[in-house]
A and B are shown apart, each in its own frame.
Chain A
Amino acid sequence: MTTRKRIESVEELVAFRDAARGSASTAGASPDRRQVLVCTGGGCIASGSLEVAASFRRALAARGLEGGVQLLETGCLGPCARGPVVVVYPDGTFYQQVKPSDVDEIVDSHLVRGAIVSRLVNRHSATGELVPQIRDLEFFRKQVKIVLRNCGVIDPLKIEDYVARDGYAALAKALTRMTPEQVVEEVKASGLRGRGGGGFPTGLKWAFARKTPGEVKYVLCNADEGDPGAFMDRSVLEGDPHSVIEAMAIAGYAIGAHQGFVYVRAEYPLAIERLGIAIAQARECGFLGQNILGTGFDFDLEIRKGSGAFVCGEETALMTSIEGNRGEPRPRPPFPAVKGLWGRPSLLNNVETYANIAPILLNGAAWYASYGTERSKGTKVFALAGAVRNTGLVEIPIGMPLGELIYEVGGGIPGNKTFKAAQMGGPSGGCIPVEHLGVPVDYESLIELGAIIGSGGLIVMDDDACMVDVARFFLEFCQDESCGKCAPCRIGTKRMLEILERICEGRGEEGDVERLIALGNTIKDTALCGLGQTAPNPVLSTIRYFRHEYDAHIRDKRCPAGACSALVRAPCQNACPAGVDVPGFVSLVAEGRYAEAMRWHRERNPFASICARVCFHPCESKCRRVTLDSPVAIRGVKRFMVDRDVAMELPEVRPDPANAARQVAIVGAGPAGLSAAYFLARLGYRPTVYEAEEKAGGMLVQTIPAYRLPRDRLAQEIALIESMGVTIRTGMRLGRDFTLKTLRDAGCQAVFLGIGAQKGSRLGVPHDDAPGVTEALSFLRSANLSEGFAAGRNVVVVGGGNAAIDAARTALRRGAERVTIVYRRRRSEMPAWEEEIDEALHEGVVLETLAAPVEVQVADGRVTGLVCQRMELGSYDRSGRRRPVPIKGEIFTIPADQVIAAIGQSVDAAGLFGDLPVELDRDGRVQADPRTGRTSVEWIYAGGDATLGPSSVVEAIAAGERAAAAIDEALTGADHAFWRRNVPVDTAFDPDADPSPLPRAPAWLRPVEERKGSFAEVELGWSEEVARGEARRCLRCDWRETCNQEVQRW
């Protein structure tokens, strides 16, 4: 290292800066300078960037390019998940996940021949186009870098690089052109607030510290960054250490202090090393020490290492620790500004706060305050982590909507999962659910939602996250890190943790949630320091937004997300609403034991053949195989299994004369009603099912097109149920042919309503009742039930759900020449299943997204078209999706002779219940206890679409099963649901063997040209070889060392 000349005056600083600009390695400093920037932030070092840098050094030397190409090792650029990252200037090409072996190619291709190495370049997440330039990356586009202005741009080990970018100019300005009061006023006017978590106005803090009289004062920097996942302070210290040194010297001048301490956690060795080098360089240049810049101001800095106690990030504990004592908080008042380190007035800010100071002084408070919101100014650095594509460090203007931060800067949720919550503010922060994605990220708004900005940790969670488990995790952290001084934090958080652990293990009790709330609130009100006062936040905020998950754990002993191992036998089984033992039947198929597999499946679900075709298979979306390659094609395995089922074996039925004598009626022979009948029959009941239509099967026969569900299989399964002692009476419509009262009067002890949601919603635009306008259900019903039905020639379907797709594909098969689906959002937001949309498009359906109907065009009393409004996506709504808003003036018309509305269904309750007080909810659905199906009338139960609105077959099956068990329990006083016992399957499994290397088998589909006009089934079954191979891909998450597998009881 060359020794540096001491800078004695502002003039010398200017000269130094000009010289540095000429020679310094600042990125993109000059358009004719070729540079290779290798990120050496902690994240990229962990993924091997030091080796990459070394490879560049060698490669450049080997080609004699050392002189012509400058190699820079910079601090963190932010996109850590893509590390090691390399940027090549002057063009600014961004290379990601660069391995040492890629370096020769980059040098030869890019630096020698000028051709970008496209395989290492980022692609646009939606379009897949190459995005080579760093400034074009989605990740950077919305960022505003003030704190991180030099990170990833300069060599942190060279003070010249810092000075070249106006480093120490703010200190010079403060010392020569501002009074200390003016400095304080400038900081005050900027609106900067403490970035360590509290958000206290920084200028005010400086003013207090300035005002307190004292010969000796201290300036302290909190670099004890301890929030799991947060690393912005580390990045600043590693990537731009002088920004903190300069700011602390300015603070010293402002408050009248001559000594500062930076308290860095010992777990940051690289930050300590680089800061130490920077301090030494600053001393050498005279930015620290005596008579700084010849102004007579003295200030020096020392590093103090903290040994990793989270609580030492609390200001009083931090000072106690610097003093050499056990790091524990002490009561305030007195505040540090009055009595701080060693009893002296002290100013404590964190790294990120200090990093804002120099730009504020140089560019003015007004410039800084132009970013942010009314009460929260400037920018904030966030550490994006968890279920988000672009994990890493981002700096955004305060006030950006959370959804924008996650979906645009963060790139959204990977792996086709849905966003569930954002945990903000570190372990003591809170969770923000999907309905608040539109919240502006600022101090006040987040506090209102029970979260905090905190130090800027942001963990994105998808539907795999169990919120009870998340709360338990964060509370465990706080409990571990409690200093143990005050009782509420030491014992209270432990007691909360114990309750949470119990809940996660399935030992939760009624009242636990109330206990958590009461204790949590008292801890917040009584704990000594910020750690304890905020430790209950993750629990309280998850209870606030995810109370239903707590209830599922406590009441149903069920973890809906499939995360709590004590409650989850296998994630697929856990995800199945009907609780089918997926690994059980899949492993039986793998062994070729098809009849047993079928029996195994029928234990929990009588409609294997239906589910094999139309189930939306939540099991597959939870399959752990995805961590290896892709999920097991469970539905495909099931499809093969049912195709092999020739015997149609009856399941176990336990005859019971007493039950046989009990009259139970079921209204509706859809999947819910038939499933209720099936399970009641297994307990010896002989229920009667009343069906309004002429054919049993409900929606399955009425609306699901036959190309998805062949009718003969359905008929066989219904026949099987009848053979178990169930009577189905078709043509019996409730309210017309019988009433609930007549059933009751005839001795019926319980009634199950599986009446579906039969009423389709209208479009709600002018002429939506014109001839040619229909809604999807009646369209599908007619198409499915009446031979010779013909659709229009030019059909427009409005909606984005499965009913819309069914209607569109059915229309094609019923003679339509052109079918258009109009949907007001984007394709990615369509609720229909991805593969159904794909197939519809294959078959020629046109998708018109971002369009909403405004009027049905009518001529001569007939539909001639649909007038649509072009939409764009606006702010996030409560469903967590961006709200479609009209683009003024963009109106267009789609010619049509038939318009089908597929925009929602409700229960057609008119005249159904007589004067019985069966309560409906706001959406017109029957209100029923989700666990039992019991309605507001004690002997009436309900389930399926009637209670849920349009939902899935498997949910209807599950509702029927639950109601059957509940009816039996109500009538007999005991629980007899024997099929709920989890019996371990006797298939072979070697836990030490490597998993099957086979990739997921694709579905075999009928060629598109064969489908048009045909209702032949589109999906074809696999061969035995393919099916058994696929079944062997199962990882057998159900397998346990111990035999006691009876974990699920719900």
Chain B
Amino acid sequence: MVNLTINGIPVQVPEGTTVLQAARHASIRIPTLCYLENVQAIGACRVCMVEIEGARTLVPSCVAPVAEGMKVRTNTERVRNARRTVMELLMSDHAGDCKTCERNDDCEFQALARDLGIRQVSWEGAKSPARLDASTPALVRDTGKCVLCRRCVTVCHGVQDVGALFPQARGFQTVVGPAFGRDLATVTCVQCGQCASVCPVGAISERDDTDKVWAALEDPTKFVVVQTAPAIRAALGEEFGFEPGTLVTGKMTAALRRLGFDAVFDTNFTADLTILEEGTELLHRLKAALAGNGTGTPADGEGHGEPAHGPGPLPLATSCCPAWIKNCEHFHPDFLPHLSTCKSPQQMFGAAAKTYYSRRIAKHPSDVFVVSVMPCTAKKFEAARPEMEASWQRDVDVVLTTRELARMIQAAGIDFVNLPDEAMDQPMGMSTGAADIFANTGGVMEAALRTAYEIVTGRPLPFDGLRVAPIESLEGIKEAALTFRGVLPEWNFLEGVTARVAVAHGLANANRLVDRIRKGEASYHFIEVMSCPGGCIGGGGQPRPTTDAVRKARIEAIYREDQSKAMRKSHENPQVRAAYEAFFQAPNSELSHRFLHTRYFGRDRV
């Protein structure tokens, strides 16, 4: 332990602690801007400066390690002047159109200016080069608002391993963006939106698609259907002042109805559908591998996911996450055969809504308008993929993020906090607890195991409360093993087989997992990948900020939702069964392949 004083207060903290952490320990707030807990401490912005006795200059507390006997002062004239000057300099090079900025009132930069008591910006002058990059369907970059804190760079490189954003040029000309000043759409950006999630200002945000939704809602010829991803209900409340981890499923449903949606449905419904499709695919692949019909090694070639070529190799990898898919297309084209051919729940929903459901309500698919509410920016990209036209048109018309939905609710004058709880519409509002946990890292895997084990053995998953504890944590890569015993006769090739599964969240972890598999250092039957840390609950479209504490709260809320459900296994969902009977025939059937499965394409890295 190290003893120091901060503002005269004795503090004892473990060695290696930073002055910033020590100050927080002593209930002393030090303002920060570029610092991002557990992600980035680079001492770049110079806002967290403190005075340390004996030091020639002020010291950035976020990177300064404590030392025995250190005397720190955080609130002297010199410190206040330095912080204010730095902040005013930053403000002098900032677009400053706060009143119309999407981050108005939700801006760390604004809050910092307020906290530092800045009433005027003493420095004025030229602004560094500003550029609006709206090249992708998911994200909009406005470098004029960028404060060069580099959180996005660190997240894109360190957490996501994508490396689409860099500091470019030097000095006052420095901008953060894709290499060679290119547009985001032309580089390997997977559009996960983690950059937007950590951006303290409005420099990177989701593309705002609310106008398209308002227009559809106004259009009397459109039957507007909305689906909400499982992660929304555990986070939307934060936008209205609820504590992180507050479940607002009922209020959300009520709000959507008040916004004018004709049917309020649940992506959970197709999550259950996904489990049936993907579980079946897994069993097929297992059978092919274990019964000698397959090699279990990656297959060669392009155009993967063709059912005609038979089951793909092991391990099977989940395909719910569009950023993970794009990541594989750019960086692991050899791994594409491992990806499940199942569409994501969002796209299964779109396809189902404009085929199965539109037929059921006797509407032409072109009169049905499908809106998704997703925790994710990459879902906007996914919905725009050319393959996603199972209904001969866009299956999903508009994707909104959680934040956009909140803005619509606010704009519509809906008193969200005091809304009554309402239930979703049927048939596609019906879901099981297994669908809920799709929001969490490990959730898809757990949901799949719940169903697969029961299909194979006829018995429920032998874990406490159906929870596969080892894969539920915030560890980067998690593993579990499950031995099939007493299998039903048709599955006897699985008798005694120990299924090895792995779960990764954050693309850096995912890439590491893929590398291990590729090098033969690890071998699995099934892996789950979610691009965002914590899974979809930590998605790039979720309310800000998303810290580890917030992630944990949302994850717990999702599990509460799961455990509150009467049905907690996807195959139990009666509406899913009904849909098969009425339309999709059976999991992995020809029709389900036609509507619910897709294929992947290798993409260039430059």
Q: Which A residues are closer than 8 A to B by beta carbons? A: 309, 326, 328, 330-331, 333, 479-495, 498, 515, 518-519, 522, 524-528, 533
Contacts and interface: CB of A to CB of B under 8 A. Distances in A.
Most chain A beta-carbon contacts within 10 A, residue among B42, B86, B93, B169: B86
Contacts of A328: 167
A525 B63 CA distance: 16
Contacts of B82: 522, 525-526
Nearest to A501: B125
A481 B170 contact: yes
B78 interface: yes
Contact of A495 (B92, B170, B174): B92
A528 B82 CA distance: 13
14 contacts: A331-B64, A481-B170, A482-B170, A485-B44, A485-B148, A487-B86, A487-B90, A490-B172, A495-B89, A495-B92, A525-B49, A525-B57, A526-B46, A528-B46
A483 B172 CA distance: 9
Interface residues of B, number: 38
B600 interface: no
A525 B125 CA distance: 22
A494 B126 contact: yes
B543 interface: no
Contacts of A494: 93, 125-126, 171-172
A487 B170 CA distance: 12
A495 to B, nearest CB: 5
Given A331-B42, A331-B60, A333-B65, A491 B170 contact: no
Contacts of B150: 485
Contact of A484 (B122, B123, B172): B172
B89 A484 contact: no
A522 B172 contact: no
A537 to B, nearest CB: 14
Nearest to B169: A484
Interface string B74-98: 0000100110011001101100000
A493 B126 CA distance: 12
A525 B78 contact: yes
Most chain B beta-carbon contacts within 10 A, residue among A309, A488, A489, A519: A488
A487 B122 CA distance: 15
A528 B93 contact: no
A522 B85 contact: yes
A347 B98 CA distance: 48
Contacts of A331: 42-43, 60, 63-64
B470 to A, nearest CB: 32
Contacts of B86: 487-488, 492, 522, 526
A480 B148 CA distance: 17
Most chain B beta-carbon contacts within 10 A, residue among A487, A498, A527: A487
A515 B125 CA distance: 13
Nearest to B89: A491
A810 to B, nearest CB: 60
A498 B148 contact: no
Nearest to A523: B85
A379 B86 CA distance: 40
Contacts of A484: 148, 167, 169-174
B84 to A, nearest CB: 9
Given A524-B57, A526-B58, A481 B49 contact: no
B452 interface: no
Given A480-B171, A522-B81, A326 B166 contact: yes
B502 interface: no
A493 B124 CA distance: 12
Contacts of B122: 515
Contacts, number: 113
Interface of B: 42-47, 49, 57-58, 60, 63-65, 78, 81-82, 85-86, 89-90, 92-93, 122-126, 147-148, 150, 166-167, 169-174
B501 to A, nearest CB: 34
A490 B43 contact: no
B83 to A, nearest CB: 9
A448 to B, nearest CB: 15
A519 B123 contact: yes
A533 B123 CA distance: 19
Contact of B45 (A326, A330, A486, A518): A486
A533 B57 contact: yes
Given A484-B173, A485-B44, 16 more contacts: A481-B170, A482-B171, A482-B172, A487-B45, A487-B148, A488-B86, A488-B89, A490-B172, A491-B92, A491-B123, A492-B85, A494-B125, A494-B171, A495-B124, A526-B49, A527-B57
A479 B58 contact: no
A486 B44 contact: yes
A491 to B, nearest CB: 4
Contacts of A479: 171-172
A870 B81 CA distance: 58
Most chain A beta-carbon contacts within 10 A, residue among B81, B148, B172: B172
A486 B46 contact: yes
8 A-B pairs closest in CB distance: A484-B174, A482-B171, A331-B43, A491-B89, A498-B125, A331-B63, A494-B172, A522-B85
Contacts of B78: 525
Given A482-B171, A484-B169, A495-B92, A528 B44 contact: yes
Given A486-B45, A519-B123, A480 B93 contact: no
B90 A491 contact: yes
Given A526-B49, A526-B82, A528-B44, A492 B89 contact: yes
A522 B173 CA distance: 21
A309 B174 CA distance: 14
A486 B58 CA distance: 14
A482 B167 CA distance: 13
A16 B537 CA distance: 73
B46 A487 contact: yes
Contacts of A524: 57
A481 B173 CA distance: 10
B75 to A, nearest CB: 16
Contacts of A518: 85
A488 B93 CA distance: 12
B163 to A, nearest CB: 12
A524 B49 CA distance: 13
A143 B566 CA distance: 93
